[in-house]
Structure 1
Amino acid sequence: MSSVPFISTPEALRQLAAKPHTPCQCSLQHCAGWESVSEAVWPAQQMTHVATLRDPDVYEPTFEEQHSNGTRYESADAPVALKFFPYNRCDVHACSQCQQHALRYTEFGGYYVDPRARRLNVELITD
């Protein structure tokens, strides 16, 4: 059982993401879309795990994506849709220096593990 809250609605995620934040020079500045962020680059010492988007009642979340405006997985303007991949497998972290929120999940392929991160943009959160 996770000790962080489960965020189940776009409204709750918007409320979290709307908190003020300031400019920061952390390694997540390049993560407008989903980017590979290895453990060596992830600024663990300044990141706090604040919530999860993983539904504890769903054993195997969908891999279906939502791109109603023709975006792609890696697009910086792709919608943040909680019930769709990869958001349904994400945790939410906050930077202690700037209070910016970032989404993080691990991509698993045949023989690789690829931690990914994306800064949370409140304007892209959809229903």
Structure 2
Amino acid sequence: MPKLSPEDVERLARAQPAPCAHCAPLAFAGWESFPGDKSDAALEGVGTLWQAGEEDEPTLEEHHPAGTNYWSPEAPIALRCFPANRSEVWCCRHCGHAFLRYTEYGGYYEDKRIRSLQPELIVK
């Protein structure tokens, strides 16, 4: 997938429609594990905020100035902070609604996560 700048992602977020019937079950306000009973066939990859092998490793620092946490639906989407800075942008093939997708790699698991790209929560 091509690399997107934070400005590219913000433009996508501001131009997108509300989720349709095909993608609404995935339109979580905060980060959620991708539901095991759902398919991602309605989504297509658009780009990534970071590509492996880049010289500068993205930070693992999160941005929560109002006391939110990773899982909070109202947590800001700080595109230069974790986990947004390591995410991919996917859009619904039917309506164009945009999502952030990120895979958490643990010692014995892999957890694919998804969050609706909400323009009002994007911070610089």
TM bucket by the smaller chain? 0.7 to 0.9
CA distance in 2 between partners of 1:86 and 1:124 (Å): 14
Q: How many residues align?
A: 121
Task: Find the counterpart in structure 2 of residue 69 from structure 1.
Answer: 66
Q: CA deviation at 1:40?
A: 5.0
Deviations 1:27-85 (A, max 9, x none): 313x1100000565242x21111111115634532211010111110111111111111
* Percent identity between the two aligned chains: 44
- Give the Cα–Cα distance (whole angstroms) in 2 for the partners of residues 89 and 28 of structure 1: 19
Which ranges of structure 2 fall in alignment gaps of 5 or more residues? none
TM-score, normalised to structure 1, is 0.84
How far off is 1:22 after superposition?
3.7
C-alpha contact (below 8 Å) 1:8/1:55 kept by paired residues: no
Q: Normalization by structure 2: what TM-score?
A: 0.85
The amino acid across from 1:33 in the alignment is G
Q: Which 4+ residue blocks in structure 1 deviate beyond 4 angstroms?
A: none
The answer for the alignment partner of 1:53 in structure 2 is 49
Counterpart position of 1:12: 8
Deviates more, 1:46-55 or 1:34-43: 34-43
Whether 2:63 is the aligned partner of 1:28: answer no
Question: Using a 3 Å threshold, how does the CA distance of structure 1 residues 20 and 82 change in structure 2: closer, same or farther?
Answer: closer
Q: Which residue of 2 aligns with 1:117?
A: 114
- 2:26 partner amino acid: L
Shift of 1:8: 2.3
Contact 2:16–2:98, Cα closer than 8 Å, also in 1:
no
Matched, 1:100 2:97: yes
TM-superposed CA distance for 1:98, in Å, is: 2.1
Structure 1 spans left out of the alignment, 5+ residues: none
Secondary structure at the aligned position of 2:38 is classed as: coil
Q: Residues of 1 paired with 2:36 and 2:45: CA distance?
A: 15
- C-alpha contact 1:93 1:102 (8 A) present in aligned 2: yes
